[in-house]
Amino acid sequence: MTRSAVLIIDPRGNISLGGKDVVNRHLDYAKILFSKSNESKLVVCSTGYQNTKIFRSKFMDRFILSKPTLNPIIFSWRVYRCIRREKIEVSLIIAGDPWESFWASFLLSKLMRRNIPIQMQIHGDIADPLWRKVNWRNKVRFYLAKYSCSEALSIRAVGHNQKNNLIKNLDLSKSKITVIPVPFSHKVTRNIKPKNTKRPKSIALIGRIHEDRGIWNFIDLVNKLNIASKDFDVIIIGSGHAESEFLTRIKDVIPRQRLKVLGQLSEATIAKMWNKIGVLVSLAPVESYGRVIREAFVSGVPVWVSKSSGALDLISKANSKGIRLLDTNISNQALMREFKQLLGTKSDLNLRNNLVDENNKLSILLVNSWLKLIKN
């Protein structure tokens, strides 16, 4: 029996290697798709290192076709063979990025000899001039994306400032881009009025421990705060290729008894950590949306951030209450004063609940954008 499918192309294995939370987020999309069109199914063609190569369910099928690859030609051929073997009737292709995923999707449509619509997903703020200056790889990818974005039928961005950068710096049509952020948790609930309790004296870094996430600036911040006062702890949640050097350097700055290194945690576990975090710090120089800073904000945790598209989006909604731009160039004492002020900040409860309501509709908006492309 031939099945109609929304097909996600993932040659780098971001879905399969992203952990249980990422897989469950896509399963959530699949359930919504089935509820709106029970003749449709979400199919993910991914890569990874698992022994099991096929994962089937009522709502979503996931195929591990190889180890992660940057070769769109080989991967498109593997996807083509898979959908032929499984008798999948593709109605829409989702490309997870403007590079390997898009060109694999483009080549797949040529192999199938059908004019299948392709929605390109752009999660990073790749059109921000600062992004291409991070390293030479980003610079090359910027110019590659400039061409692939012009070829895409539809682009899903995750932030409004990100969309503006795409329009301005990649010369894209406004009508081509739809802004639908990635839900920061598929189980987040509305907040109740908090008790008048003091926040713990701690700062936290959560996410990928990569050089482009501002991790060395975080160590600089910890060092300056530590010179001003010893009365705070540091919490590190996450992992990445720069983790070893990062931990070595931060242990030279702050005593180990005041440093908690928790590694990679699930969304459910992080949700239980918010009451132990005084202030969340995010120093990524380029941030298109900022899922973690939003989840912290709606959980009542003050956020201290560097200037980015994602931060500016949230600041505009929060009217700077509960979130503050961080300037590491000010004195150590001034930084400590700002830290203490943030600990005493109470964000607007109604705004936080409005953000929760918006977040809980994002999966539906994304699926609706797929169905719209299929019908057109």
Virtual CA dihedral for 287, 292, 297, 301, nearest 10 degrees?
-120
Q: Where are the alpha helices (DSSP H) in 242-344?
A: 243-251, 267-273, 291-298, 309-318, 332-343
CATH 3.40.50.2000 fits 3-183+360-375, yes or no: yes
Contact 201, 180 (CB under 8 A): no
Q: Are 220 and 234 in contact (CB under 8 A)?
A: no
**Dihedral of alpha carbons 319, 324, 330, 335, sign:** positive
Average pLDDT over residues 33-42: 89
Indicate the domain borders of the chain: 3-183+360-375, 202-358
Asked, colleague to colleague, whether 3-183+360-375 and 202-358 share their fold, the answer is yes
Which pair of tokens denotes residue 311? 């931060």
Q: Which pLDDT value is given to residue 37?
A: 84
Task: Determine the average pLDDT of the residues in 230-250.
Answer: 93
* CATH number of the 202-358 domain: 3.40.50.2000
Note the pTM of the prediction, 2 decimals. 0.85
What span, in angstroms and rounded, lies between the C-alpha atoms of 97 and 129? 18
Sheet holding 54-56, edge to edge: 54-56, 60-64, 40-46, 3-9, 88-95, 118-121, 154-157, 177-179
In one letter, which amino acid is 165?
Answer: N
Q: What is the mean pLDDT of residues 162-184?
A: 92
For the segment 296-318, the average pLDDT, to the nearest whole number, is: 86
How confident is the model at residue 184, as a pLDDT?
80
Residue 129 and residue 164: Cα distance in Å, rounded?
A: 12
| Angle formed at CA 346 by CA 342 and CA 352, multiple of 5 degrees | 115
> Exposed, middle or buried by CB within 10 Å (0-12, 13-18, 19+), for 364?
middle
Nearest Cα residue to 293 out of 266, 275, 313: 313
Query: Which tokens hold the place of 322?
Result: 């509960």
pLDDT of residue 191: 57
Question: What residue type is assigned to position 55 of the chain?
Answer: F
Look at residue 350 in the predicted model and tell me its pLDDT.
Answer: 83
pLDDT score of 318: 77
Mean of pLDDT values over 135-158: 92
Closest by Cα among 277, 348, 361, 275 to 318: 348
The set of residues, in sequence order, having a beta carbon less than 8 Å from that of 99 and lying 6+ positions away, is: 141, 144, 145, 148
Segment 161-188 mean pLDDT: 87
Work out the average pLDDT over 83-111: 95
